[in-house]
Amino acid sequence: MEPIAYCKRLEGKSNAHLIQFDDGQSYVVKYFQPGFEKTLPNEWLAYCLGRYLGVPIPFSKIIDIPATFSSQVPELSDMSTTPYQFASLYIPDCKDAHQVTNLSGITNHKALAATIVFDYWFYNGDRTRKNVLLHEELENTYQLWAIDHAEVFGTYNWNLLDLPTLPTGLIKSATHEMMARFIDNESQFLQSFEQIQTIPIFLIEEIVSMIPDEWMVTKEERKEMVGTLLHRRKKVLPKVIPQFIKKIYLPLHTNKT
Ligand SMILES: Nc1ncnc2c1ncn2[C@@H]1O[C@H](COP(=O)(O)OP(=O)(O)OP(=O)(O)O)[C@@H](O)[C@H]1O
Ligand SMILES: [Mg+2]
């Protein structure tokens, strides 16, 4: 897939760019950036495992935009020349959760529990109202997309020592609360939890091994990414998901009249 036209820079600290490609689609492209070294590895691993679990993340892939293209676009000319970028299919005509004031239904509500459990598994502390996209399908009823996994594992520039000390308790997220209102049965949390437990270690290792060497994730860091997910699925999720159900999910539902 080759880029054909540069559209614009998107808002936010990741420096994401909207670019049109010769497959007829536009993609949001994030470049490797000094100071934000783990953005692309985080996006990649979160995308692959998130999709496996049914988290509604837009179709994404690792691409390589030729320097001949980037050098002709002023907005891209100061981007690093590191090969391989992360591209996520642009979903047009969406609002974020700040912009939707009257939300009465979510068409893909069956995917919401998976999204919350996934955020706890990866410790995604960045599920803000801007990091979900809402596409109106019927009046006040939206399809939800989960975007921006630059800050799974706590930050876009974690190092080896950060991962073992990631927080294990409840995450404060108004977006999680919003999503939890539309989850009709608490058993959906258990289903996602159980699906995470069945993911073969080999699959996680394989996805991590596909991170391009150019993104400079060391062998030790790759091992730590896998180890962190194994540890969190075994030790953290069994405690924090019941806490989420008790402290956040159930109060939202028992208050309903
Ligand atoms: N797949 C997509 N389809 C449509 N719009 C998107 C998509 N991905 C990102 N965007 C838009 O681009 C903006 C920036 O993307 P993203 O949230 O991934 O990075 P960021 O906001 O720069 O990172 P951070 O939230 O860490 O600052 C989003 O807020 C959203 O408006
Ligand atoms: Mg964002």
In the chain, the percentage of residues whose pLDDT exceeds 70 is: 99
**How many domains does the structure of the chain reveal?**
2
The lowest-confidence range among 13-17, 110-114, 142-146, 221-225 is 13-17
Tell me which residue range forms the domain holding 249. Answer: 95-254
Whether ligand 1 lies within 6 angstroms of the CB of 148 is answered as yes
How many Å lie between the centroid of ligand 2 and the Cα of residue 167? 21
Whether the Cβ atoms of residue 87 and residue 7 lie closer than 8 Å to each other: no
The pLDDT value recorded for residue 14 is: 81
Beta strand spans in the chain (E): 3-9, 17-21, 26-30, 60-63, 85-89, 95-96, 105-106, 132-138, 141-146
Mean pLDDT of 150-178: 97
133 lines ligand 1 (CB under 6 A): yes
Tell me what pLDDT residue 256 has.
56
Report which protein residue has its CA nearest ligand 1's atom 1: 90
Looking at the CA of 151, which ligand is closest? 1
Nearest CA to ligand 1 atom 10: 28
Q: Of 74, 89, 104, which residue sits at a domain end?
A: 89
Residue 54 has pLDDT above 70, yes or no: yes
Rounded to whole angstroms, the Cα distance separating 214 from 45 reads 16
* Average pLDDT of the chain, as a whole number: 96
Which one of 45, 63, 89 terminates a domain? Answer: 89
- Whether pLDDT at 255 is above 70: no
pTM of the model: 0.96
DSSP 38-56: THHHHHHHHHHHHHHHT--
Residue with the two structure tokens 């991590």: 208
Whether residue 71 is found in the same domain as residue 128: no
CA distance 5 to 19: 6
Q: Which residue has the higher pLDDT, 81 or 52?
A: 52
pLDDT digits (tens, 9 = 90+) for 104-149: 999 999 999 999 999 999 999 899 999 999 999 999 999 999 999 9
Query: For atom 7 of ligand 1, which residue has the closest CA?
Result: 90
Name the domain boundary from 32, 60, 89.
89
Q: Which pairing describes strands 141-146 and 105-106: parallel, antiparallel, or unpaired?
A: parallel
Assign residue 33 the CATH number of its domain. Answer: 3.30.200
Beta bridge partners of 27: 19, 89
Q: Does 88 contact ligand 1 (Cβ within 6 A)? A: yes
Answer yes or no: are the C-beta atoms of 199 and 52 closer than 8 Å. Answer: yes
